[in-house]
């Protein structure tokens, strides 16, 4: 059997791919006629790869195409016909370690430590609950991180999730670990078992800078009078997605004097959040809609009293505005008491390896993804 490794180019169709390699187009039609899983072949994109096993006369004997990181299409000849199905792609998982002291910027330090952008963004997202990366990072701060490297046959090595990390900012150390409990729920926790996630985000968008902070005596840039500013203004390009800061129900969606296009979400525990100056709302939302944390609700604009594109964001507790940057926020659920022994074992493994610079090789809990050698796992 000969092997052809086909790479989809811009403008390619399956027929073009097969003709270019002198493969049987009749067999291709027979495979597509199976329907079901082979429908994935109808939607090929540039850069995708298809591996074909064929005989000397061009007749197809087998075909494989990755569908995502964990699954692939597998087609096999059975006499004069074909069978097709989706199979798991075997992967090898190893653990990598990175450490750096920040001199100029977090991204420069992360690049020097060999971290990819995806791992760096994970760090920012995970520690962003406690660290303001726009204001709190200084020269001399440091980080250490354990994360997965995922190896798949015939594909570039990719980075998986962070397993454990430490970030020291302004002399204070923050540590996190990833834990999957026996019920299959995965989350990040402090060493004390407290969930890293808060029930509300302090900044529900990717912003470029804080253009105005919370203040009881602020000069309004439009009206030129001193009056309270009960929120934080996050400057960002027009059209930047705005996310719901937490799970809740929309109680207002429309235009409000001064605020322009505005959304108010009611959360549990007496908390509510307000989002103002939007360019437009996400389609399909209305008062009464239920939303979840990180769900897009609208887009940055400058409607209402605004001198530039930004999100005016407020957090209210029992109706009273509080500073979104400093207000105490309730955490999500901690590790359940019945899972603490398993969590403590996982914590010990991960922190031992983090402290040793990734040199400890201790078998971890497979359910938590903490194994530190090379692990073969079929999804």
What is the tens place of the pLDDT at every residue in 322-337? 999 888 888 788 999 9
DSSP structure string for 130-142? T--TTTS--TT-E
What is the tens place of the pLDDT at every residue in 158-202? 888 999 999 999 889 999 999 999 988 899 999 999 988 888 888
pLDDT at 257: 86
- The residue written with tokens 């900044």 in the block is 203
What phi, psi does 93 have (nearest 5°)?
-115, 125
Residue 376 has pLDDT above 90, yes or no: no
Of the two residues 128 and 119, the one the predictor is more confident about is: 119
pLDDT at 294: 86
What is the mean predicted confidence (pLDDT) over 239-250?
Answer: 94
Across the chain, mean pLDDT equals 86
Q: How far apart are CA 305 and CA 295, in angstroms?
A: 26
Q: How far apart are CA 168 and CA 145, in angstroms?
A: 12
What is the mean predicted confidence (pLDDT) over 74-90?
Answer: 90
Residue 379 has pLDDT above 50, yes or no: no
What is the tens place of the pLDDT at every residue in 149-168? 988 766 677 888 999 999 99
CATH number for domain 209-322, candidates 2.70.70.10, 3.90.209.20, 2.30.30.30, 1.20.120.790: 2.70.70.10
Q: Which CATH number is associated with domain 92-197+334-378? A: 3.10.450.350
Helix (H, G, I), strand (E, B) or coil at 114: coil
pLDDT band per the 50, 70, 90 thresholds, residue 373: very low
pLDDT at 76: 95
Single pTM value for the model: 0.59
What is the tens place of the pLDDT at every residue in 25-68? 999 999 999 988 888 888 888 888 899 999 988 999 999 998 87
Q: Do domains 2-88 and 92-197+334-378 have the same CATH topology?
A: yes
- DSSP letter at 89 equals P
First and final C-alpha spacing in the chain: 28
Give the containing element (helix H, strand E) for 166: strand 158-169
Residue 218 has pLDDT above 80, yes or no: no
Percent of the chain with pLDDT strictly greater than 70 = 90
- Domain definitions of the chain by residue range: 2-88, 92-197+334-378, 209-322
pLDDT band per the 50, 70, 90 thresholds, residue 271: very high
Please tell me the chain's helix, strand, coil percentages from 3-state DSSP, rounded to the nearest 5: 15, 40, 40
CATH number for domain 2-88, candidates 3.10.450.350, 2.60.40.1120, 3.40.50.970, 3.40.50.2000: 3.10.450.350
Nearest to 38 by CA among 86, 71, 81, 87: 86
């Amino acid at each position: 059997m000969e092997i052809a490794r086909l790479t989809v180019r811009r403008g390619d169709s399956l027929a073009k791919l097969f003709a270019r390699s002198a493969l049987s187009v009749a067999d291709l039609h027979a495979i597509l006629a199976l329907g079901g899983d082979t429908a994935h072949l109808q939607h090929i994109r540039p850069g995708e790869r298809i591996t074909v096993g064929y005989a000397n006369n061009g007749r197809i004997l087998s075909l494989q195409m990755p569908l995502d990181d964990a699954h692939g299409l597998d087609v096999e000849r059975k006499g004069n016909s074909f069978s097709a199905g989706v199979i798991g792609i075997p992967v090898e998982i190893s653990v990598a370690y990175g450490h750096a002291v920040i001199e100029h910027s977090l991204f420069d330090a992360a690049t020097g430590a060999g971290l990819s952008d995806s791992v760096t963004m994970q760090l920012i997202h995970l520690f962003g609950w406690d660290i303001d990366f726009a204001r709190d990072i200084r020269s001399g701060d440091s980080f250490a991180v354990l994360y997965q490297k995922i190896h798949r046959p015939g594909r570039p090595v990719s980075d998986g999730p962070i397993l454990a990390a430490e970030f020291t900012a302004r002399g204070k150390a923050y540590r996190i670990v990833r834990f999957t409990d026996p019920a299959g729920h995965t989350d990040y926790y402090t060493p004390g078992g407290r969930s890293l996630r808060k029930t509300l985000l302090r900044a529900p968008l990717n912003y470029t800078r804080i253009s105005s902070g919370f203040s009881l005596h602020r000069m309004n840039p439009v009206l030129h009078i001193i009056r309270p500013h009960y929120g934080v203004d996050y400057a960002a390009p027009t059209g930047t997605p705005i996310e719901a800061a937490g799970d809740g129900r929309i109680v207002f969606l429309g235009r409000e004097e001064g605020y322009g296009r505005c959304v108010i979400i009611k959360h549990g525990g007496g908390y509510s959040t307000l989002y103002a100056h939007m360019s437009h709302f996400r389609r399909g939302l209305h008062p009464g809609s239920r939303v979840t944390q990180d769900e897009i609700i609208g887009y940055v604009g400058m409607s209402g009293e605004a001198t530039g594109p930004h999100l005016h964001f407020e957090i209210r507790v029992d109706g009273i505005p509080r500073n979104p940057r400093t207000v105490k926020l309730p955490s999500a659920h901690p590790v359940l008491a019945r899972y603490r022994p398993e969590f403590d074992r996982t914590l010990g493994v991960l922190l031992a390896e983090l402290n040793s610079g990734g040199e400890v090789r201790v078998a971890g809990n497979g359910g938590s993804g903490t194994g530190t050698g090379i692990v073969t796992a079929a999804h």
